[in-house]
Copies of this chain bind each other. A is one copy, B any other.
Amino acid sequence: MTTAYGGSGDLNRSMALLWHGKNRPSRGPTPTLSLERIVDAAVNLADREGLAALSMRSVAAELSVGTMSLYRYVPGKGELLDLMLDHVNGPVEELEGHRGKDWRGTMEFIARATWEMYNQHPWLLQVNQARPILGPNGLAAFDFALASLDGLGLHDREKVAVILAIDHYVTGTARTYILKQQAVEQSGITDEEFWAAQGPIIEKAFATGAYPEVSRLEEDVFNIDGEEALEFGLRPLLDGLESFVNSKRVR
Q: Is the CB of A237 within 8 A of B243?
A: no
Nearest-neighbor residue (CB-CB) of A240 within chain B: B236
A127 to B183, CA, bound (A): 13
Asked if residues A180 and B143 are in contact (CB atoms below 8 Å), the reply is no
* A178 to B: closest C-beta gap in Å: 9
Contact at A243–B233, with CB atoms within 8 Å?
A: no
> Do A156 and B1 contact each other (CB < 8 Å), given the known contacts A12-B197, A233-B161?
no
Q: A172-B173, A240-B239 are in contact. Are A164 and B3 (CB under 8 A)?
A: no
Q: Which residue of B lies closest to A126 (CB)?
A: B3
Copies in the assembly, this chain: 2
Residue in B closest to A223 when the chains form the complex, CB atoms: B157
Docked CA distance A152–B56 (Å):
54
Check B160–A221 contact: CB distance below 8 A. yes
State which residues 1-20 of A face B: CB under 8 Å: 1-8, 11-12, 15-16, 19
Q: Are A146's CB and B214's CB within 8 A?
A: yes
- In angstroms, Cα B239 to Cα A15, docked, is 40
A218 touches B156 (CB 8 A): yes
- CB-contact partner of A175 in B172, B220, B237, under 8 A: B172
Stretch at the interface among A24-32, A64-72, A198-206: A198-206
Known contacts: A2-B51, A217-B156. The answer to whether A176 contacts B164 by CB under 8 A is: yes
The chain B residue sitting closest to A8, CB to CB, is B1
Does A39 touch B at the CB level, under 8 Å? no
| A2 to B170 CA separation, bound complex (whole angstroms) | 20
A-B pairs with beta carbons under 8 Å apart, 19 shown: A2-B4, A8-B187, A19-B204, A131-B183, A133-B198, A134-B198, A139-B211, A140-B211, A142-B211, A144-B213, A146-B213, A157-B218, A157-B221, A161-B224, A164-B176, A165-B233, A168-B169, A168-B233, A239-B243
Which residues of A line the B interface, CB within 8 A? 1-8, 11-12, 15-16, 19, 21, 51-52, 77-78, 81, 125-131, 133-134, 136, 139-140, 142-144, 146-147, 150, 156-157, 160-161, 164-165, 167-173, 175-176, 179-180, 182-183, 187, 189, 194, 197-198, 201-202, 204-205, 210-214, 217-218, 220-222, 224, 229, 232-233, 235-241, 243-244
